[in-house]
Chains A and B, each alone.
Chain A
Amino acid sequence: MESIGVLMTSPMLSYLEQELERRFKLFKLWNYPSFSAFAQSNSPSILAVVGGTTIGADAQMIDSLPNLEIVSTFSVGLDKIDLTKCKQRGIRVTNTPDVLTDDVADLAIGLALAVLRRICEADRFVKNGFWKKASPELGVKFSGKAVGIIGLGRIGSAIAKRAIAFGCPVSYNSRTEKPETGYKYYSNILDLAANSEILIVACALTKETYHIVNRKVIDALGPKGILINIGRGKHVDEPELVCALTEGRLAGAGLDVFEDEPEVPEQLFGLENVVLLPHVGSDTIETSKEMAELVIQNLEAHFLNKPLLSPVI
Chain B
Amino acid sequence: MATDLPNILVMGPPLIFPDFQSQYSHSYNFLTFFASSLPLPQYLSSLNILPSSIRAILCNNMQRVPADLLRSLPSLALLVTTTMGTDHIDMPECRRLGVRVATAGGSFSEDVADFALGLLIDVLMRISAANRCAKKWLRSELPRNIPPASRVGGKRVGIVGLGKIGTEVAKRLEPFGCKIMYTSRTKKSSVPYPFYGSAVEVAAESDVLVVCCSLTEETHHIVDRAVMEALGKEGVIVNVGRGSLIDEKELVRRLVSGEIGGAGLDVFQNEPLVPCELLSLDNVVLSPHAAAVTSESFHHIMELVAATLHAFFENKPSLTPVMQD
Using CB atoms and an 8 Å cutoff, list the residues of chain A in contact with chain B: 11, 30, 102-103, 106-107, 109-111, 113-114, 117-120, 122-123, 125-127, 129, 131-132, 135-144, 161-162, 164-167, 261-264, 269, 275-278, 280, 283-287
B134 within 8 Å of A (CB atoms): yes
- Some 14 contacts from A to B, beta carbons below 8 A apart, are A11-B142, A113-B121, A113-B122, A117-B294, A119-B122, A126-B288, A161-B175, A165-B173, A165-B174, A166-B172, A278-B133, A284-B125, A285-B148, A286-B154
Once A119-B287, A126-B287, A277-B130 are accepted as A-B contacts, the answer to whether A141 and B137 lie under 8 Å apart by CB is no
- What chain A residues lie within 8 Å of B63 (beta carbons)? none
Report yes or no: A123 in contact with B272, Cβ–Cβ below 8 A: no
Report yes or no: A122 in contact with B294, Cβ–Cβ below 8 A: no
- What chain B residues lie within 8 Å of A120 (beta carbons)? 122, 127-128, 131
- What chain A residues lie within 8 Å of B148 (beta carbons)? 283-285
Interface hub of A102, A131, A278 (most chain B Cβ within 10 A): A278
> Considering the chains assembled together, what is the distance between the CA atoms of A111 and B115 in angstroms?
12
Report yes or no: A122 in contact with B110, Cβ–Cβ below 8 A: no
The 4 closest A-B pairs by CB, nearest first: A113-B118, A110-B121, A122-B287, A276-B134
Report yes or no: A126 in contact with B127, Cβ–Cβ below 8 A: no
- What chain A residues lie within 8 Å of B26 (beta carbons)? none
B138 within 8 Å of A (CB atoms): yes
Query: Which of these, A103, A118, A123, contacts B151 with CB under 8 Å?
Result: A103
Q: Tell me how many residue pairs across A and B have CB atoms closer than 8 Å.
A: 174
> Considering the chains assembled together, what is the distance between the CA atoms of A103 and B151 in angstroms?
7
> Considering the chains assembled together, what is the distance between the CA atoms of A302 and B154 in angstroms?
31
Using CB atoms and an 8 Å cutoff, list the residues of chain B in contact with chain A: 15, 110-111, 113-115, 117-119, 121-122, 124-128, 130-131, 133-135, 137-138, 141-143, 148-154, 171-177, 271-274, 278-280, 285-290, 293-298
Once A114-B122, A138-B295, A162-B175 are accepted as A-B contacts, the answer to whether A278 and B130 lie under 8 Å apart by CB is yes
- Closest Cβ of chain A: how far from B237's Cβ, in Å? 16
Query: Which of these, B134, B151, B296, contacts A287 with CB under 8 Å?
Result: B151
Report yes or no: A280 in contact with B130, Cβ–Cβ below 8 A: yes
Query: Which of these, A110, A139, A275, contacts B293 with CB under 8 Å?
Result: A139
> Considering the chains assembled together, what is the distance between the CA atoms of A290 and B239 in angstroms?
31
Report yes or no: B294 in contact with A131, Cβ–Cβ below 8 A: no
